[in-house]
Amino acid sequence: MLRLENVSKHFGGIRALDGVSLSLREGRITGIIGPNGAGKTTLLRVMAGFYKPTRGRVYYRDRDVTPLGPHERARLGIALTFQIPRAPPEFTVGQLVQAAVGKAMYRGAAMLAERDRGEVWDRVHRVLERVGLSEYAEREASQLPLGLQKRLELARALALEPRVLLLDEPSAGMSPEEARELAGLVRDLNEKEGLTIAIVEHNVPLATGLSHYMYVLHYGRLLSEGEPGEVLRDPRVIEAYLGAGYARG
């Protein structure tokens, strides 16, 4: 569905990604884990078009989307949620989701049309209901507690009716209970709506519990890949996370 071929991303002398090739399989949840500074967020931002790779190509449904910017990829159906929620301060929860409904609305003369009402708001409410935010529709988005802002990130992404959902540390800052609820929601989106999902997580049990397939990054390189259980038993992964002593067992 979404494929990276030999992607490198350098920031000055820092190699955030170095020759990474991987693919997100259609209708599956792909987990991406790795210690701090492994390049996980950079990888998602390359997928979403926020960073152009220094080398390598990005393909979406076999189309080379490397030159496309984030707004073009969003229109194609690739939606990203941010690690730190980014609710613009003057938007209510409903308005922010409304702004994301309808991928084609920010084009040409359609932009001069009146702000959407009616059927668009029905869709806004359906999305808010989907993530459990219906009762917050009129609240100022930036004033919500962190856990709810994380859900709003998801709602904003879902409003685009994506085919690929890129989740950057969705459980960061959440209580264990909130994280469990979020995991249930992500699994639902995959199983009931067939969304292809990539999830970058520090919470390894959550990522392994959700993912069908996993990639492990370390210092910008692909260290390991496979089924979650297989990856967790890989001595190279154990060493990267816990040190050489644990790997030797």
Q: Which amino acid is present at 240? A: A
Closest of 120, 117, 201, 124 to residue 166, by C-alpha: 201
Binding residue for another protein, selected from 124, 157, 200, 231, defined by CB under 8 A: 157
Q: Is 247 in the site for another protein (CB under 8 A)?
A: no
**143 contributes a contact to another protein by CB under 8 A:** no
Segment interacting with another protein (CB under 8 A) among 34-42, 95-103, 205-213, 228-236: 95-103
Identified binder of another protein from the candidate list 148, 160, 182, 186, rule CB under 8 A: 160
Query: What single letter denotes the amino acid at residue 43?
Result: L
What CA–CA distance (Å, rounded) separates 218 from 241?
Answer: 9
11 lies in the binding site for another protein (CB under 8 A): no
Structure token pair of residue 48: 């979403």
Q: From the list 115, 118, 192, 245, which residue makes contact with another protein (rule: CB under 8 A)?
A: 115
CB 82, CB 168: distance < 8 Å: yes
Number of residues counted as binding another protein (CB under 8 A): 34
CA torsion 115-118-120-123 (nearest 10°) is 150
CA-to-CA dists, residue 170 to 10, 197, 206, angstroms: 25, 12, 10
CA distance 66 to 55: 10
In the region spanning residues 36 to 55, those forming contacts with another protein, defined by CB under 8 A, are 48, 50
- Binding status of residue 118 toward another protein by CB under 8 A: no
Q: Which of positions 171-200 make contact with another protein (CB under 8 A)?
A: none
145 binds another protein (CB under 8 A): no
What is the H or E stretch that residue 8 is in? strand 2-11
Which CB sits closer to another protein, 77 or 228?
77
In the structure encoding, which two tokens stand for residue 9, read together? 């991303």
DSSP string, 47-92: HHTSS--SEEEEEETTEE-TT--HHHHHHHTEEEE-SS----TT-B
Pick the piece of the chain touching another protein (CB under 8 A) from 58-66, 80-88, 203-211, 235-243: 80-88
Task: Tell me how far CA of residue 18 lies from CA of 27, 69, 155, 230, 235, in angstroms.
Answer: 27, 21, 32, 23, 21
Among 4, 58, 74, 210, binds another protein (CB under 8 A): 74
Stretch that binds another protein, among 28-36, 78-86, 191-199, 227-235 (CB under 8 A): 78-86
Kindly tell me which of 48 and 207 has the beta carbon lying closer to another protein: 48
Q: Does 138 help bind another protein (rule: CB under 8 A)?
A: no
Nearest-approach distance from CB 153 to another protein, in angstroms: 9
| Contacts with another protein, residue ranges (CB under 8 A) | 48, 50, 69-72, 74-75, 79-80, 82, 86-91, 95, 98-100, 103, 105-106, 110-116, 156-157, 160
